[in-house]
Amino acid sequence: MNGADTAWIIVATALVLFMTLPGLALFYGGLVRSRNVLSVLMQCFAIACVMSVLWLVVGYSIAFGDGGAANAYWGGFGKMFLIGITPNTLSNTIPEVLFFAFQMTFAIITPALIVGAYVERIGFGFVIAFSSLWMLLCYAPVTHWVWGGGWLAEMGVMDFAGGIVVHETAGIAALVLAFMLGSRRGFPKELKPPHNPGMTMIGAAMLWVGWFGFNGGSQLAADGGAAMALVVTHISAATASITWAAYEKIKYGKFSMIGLVTGTIAGLASITPASGFVGPVGALFIGAVAGVLCQVMCGVVKNMMKIDDSLDVFAVHGVGGIFGTLMAPLLAMNALEGGQGLMTQIIALIAVGIFTLIVTVAIAVLCKSVFGLRVSEEDEIEGLDYTAHGERAYDMAS
């Protein structure tokens, strides 16, 4: 065991959990109407709790277990409940129980990202059931393929911190659910603006800080690689914020707070898969493109595809993650194979995309048959804070 590596991954684990609680919860919460803000916070918090338990029970084993003859595709059940893992069991230079905890925070934030696609109109029971099955049947197997020694790892796929594993899977699942769920009332012309841009900015700031653990921690060591991952993460986020705001000013004549911080998230998502391979100049390029590309895709999804992916999960996370995944071999500092490396990335993106699409649809259909999918029109008008949870975020009478 290396003490410095262990100390850094303990900090990184806390930072990644900080991304969901409270970062993502506040980021999403500020973007919805005031009558639905608690429902979004509730969904993020509940997902964090349930995914933690499921990761212990079987999720970690599926993702990082030794699957025997089927190891190319899944890890099996050998590490359920962390059986056989003691404080002295090592995963490289850190305790395996710490590696378990670090990866658990990824298993929390990935289904939580999908929340942005279905806010303000979905049943809470469906959210928990879908997120649970999706994490176990979609996220965990893909994690094994890429990070757990599975078939994509054997091909040499480059996904340092989750462009494929986290952002592509969450983005595609978000698009599927938004399509199946249907649009919010008044979409697209009568939607209300975000109720609290300040809350969204605070959440984005927390995500930015937490992302240092997300990407820097994925080095799994306290060394120069972790430092470089942190630097390129910051540069991409800053650059994408600027290009998003500049493009927004050209298109609409104003710089908006929501636009600036959404650009931040686009830059962070885009650098994620490449953060262990590219240098500062590569990060500058990825961020500059992401700030415009993801903004354009927001319009494509809502205006051309007519899909109400409410908080632009696919356009920001899905497209950003896919873009960064394609850039990783092309901009890598060690001038990796280039064309050959790119082909491996394309194969991985297609395979994971098809798998995610099929599994997401199957799980959504199953959960819909048991829990229902969309709340009633009356509940949607009243707001989910009160109808689903019996509370209100803002008591105007007091």
Give 355-367 pLDDT, tens digit per residue. 999 999 999 999 9
Distance in angstroms between the alpha carbons of the first and the last residue of the chain: 55
3-state secondary structure of 337: coil
User: Mean pLDDT, to the nearest integer, of 33-61?
Assistant: 98
pLDDT range class, residue 337, cuts 50, 70, 90: very low
In a domain, 339, yes or no: yes
**Radius of gyration in angstroms for the set of CA atoms belonging to the chain, rounded to a whole number:** 20
Least confident stretch, 115-124, 189-198, 257-266: 189-198
Residue 278 is given by DSSP the state B
In a domain, 395, yes or no: no
In a domain, 394, yes or no: no
pLDDT range class, residue 68, cuts 50, 70, 90: confident
Q: Which helix (H) or strand (E) holds 94?
A: strand 94-95
Separation CA 197–CA 191 (nearest Å): 15
In a domain, 397, yes or no: no
Query: Are the beta carbons of 24 and 80 closer than 8 angstroms?
Result: no
Query: Are the beta carbons of 54 and 132 closer than 8 angstroms?
Result: yes
Domain that holds residue 374: 3-389
Closest CA to 287 of 332, 227, 233: 233
Beta-carbon contacts of residue 125 (< 8 Å; ≥ 6 apart): 371, 372
The CATH number covering residue 210 comes to 1.10.3430.10
User: Mean pLDDT, to the nearest integer, of 192-214?
Assistant: 97
CA distances from 77 to 62, 68, 117, 344 (A): 6, 10, 32, 29
Tally the C-alpha atoms within 13 A of residue 102's C-alpha that lie toward its C-beta. Answer: 27
3-state secondary structure of 216: helix
Angle of helix 96-118 versus helix 37-54 axis, rounded to 10: 150
The pLDDT of residue 333 is above 90: no
In a domain, 168, yes or no: yes
What is the domain count for the chain? 1
In a domain, 310, yes or no: yes
In a domain, 138, yes or no: yes
Largest CA distance in the chain: 64
The better pLDDT of the pair 192, 252 is held by 252
In a domain, 348, yes or no: yes
Separation CA 27–CA 15 (nearest Å): 16
The pLDDT of residue 397 is above 80: no
**Chain segment 267-299, per-residue pLDDT in tens:** 999 999 999 999 999 999 999 999 999 999 999
Cis amide prior to 194 (ω within 30 degrees): no
